[in-house]
Amino acid sequence: MAVTLEQARRVGYTCLKALLRFAFMVANNLVAIPSYVLYLIVLQPLRILDSKSFWYIEGVLFKWLLAMVASWGWWAGYTVVEWGDDVKAVSEDEAMVLVNHQATGDVCTLMMCLQDKGTVVRQMMWLMDHIFKYTNFGIVSLIHGDFFIRQGRTHRDQQLVLLKDHLEKYYRSRNRKWIVLFPEGGFLRKRRETSQAFAKKNNLPFLKHVTLPRLGATQVILKTLVAPQENGTPSGGDTVRKESKSKGLQWVIDTTIAYPKAEPIDIQTWILGYRQPTVTHVHYRIFPVKDVPAEPEALTNWLYQRFIEKEDLLTHFYETGAFPPPQGQTKAISREMTLSNLWLVAIQSFAFLSGGMWYCFFQYLYHCLF
């Protein structure tokens, strides 16, 4: 079939736009990430004198970095509509966020939709696959105190011990509030067949839009971060908790991400912007942690039930284009999530100005030394 002039122009424009966006992303990373690292190196004396203030500043810089990533999608027309419970109501409390995982764009979507949730982004901790340690953002996550987990049965027990130690060492000492994890342990397309085989073998529901979650990390987080009075189980880091006067983990936020036509956005699309503007839908359901069982078998059943509910939510969404209304209500209400373009431009400008400042500083230092 012959390509028309209009089609050729459209393809050419898309390629040019993708090339320019990629160049901007590279430049953005080259100035923003080194600046983040250098600012924190300079502030090391403050870390010794006033650790709380140091981690406050680090959190602000971290939030701005995530806002830059969010801006790449926002300016490409990749927006978010939110459904279900309003998580702003618990943004100052400690919460564990359970998210279904379909593609690399899930993380970018969360970076975007959590930007307007108060202090959440600067005080959050991420659990992510260890491979992300070796990406351009890896150094930022390492400094911030995120946890990189290795997948696979051979690493499982050791990783859970390391996770517990990591939480006790960094979670409250750095004043973290929300911890985000993907309990499925991988992308839907990679785990679906294995999960369905396991479900069939163990007489569990057949799931198409999600996979059965894994218990390990969720159980460690609950045991380590939930205050004893919440569920009657001992929890780690008691000394740190007393010092920070923390109430412990108070909420579990079950988060379901849905893409139109079940076509997830990956990180390449987010960066290059070659896909047409897309609205991603995010559904929240908040559970008090006191209602979450502590015993492994009961917790496993509880966690399975959450993902069975996710399956129902996603089935309804793909059939109707909307999430179902909450129980007892006749209509589901959505909320359009918005970002300020002026704020995003200000953050990007700060990043490039910072990059220029550090460049001039090192040029001056070079000339002084040589």
pLDDT tens, 59-115? Answer: 999 999 999 999 999 999 999 999 999 999 999 999 999 999 999 999 999 999 999
Q: What pTM does this model have?
A: 0.90
pLDDT tens, 322-357? Answer: 999 988 788 888 999 999 999 999 999 999 999 999
The share of the chain scoring above pLDDT 70, in percent, equals: 94
Band of residue 234 on the pLDDT scale cut at 50, 70, 90: very low
Tell me, letter by letter, the H, E, C secondary structure of 98-142.
EECCCCCHHHHHHHHHCCCCCCCHHHEEEEEEHHHHHCCCHHHHH
Residue 229 has a pLDDT of 55
Residue 11 has a pLDDT of 80
Domain ranges of the chain: 78-227+247-339
Angle at 115 between CA 113 and CA 116, to 5 degrees: 90
Q: Which CATH number fits domain 78-227+247-339: 3.40.1130, 3.30.1490, 3.40.50, 3.40.630?
A: 3.40.1130
| CB-based contact 169:241 (threshold 8 Å) | no
**Is the pLDDT confidence value at 242 over 60?**
no
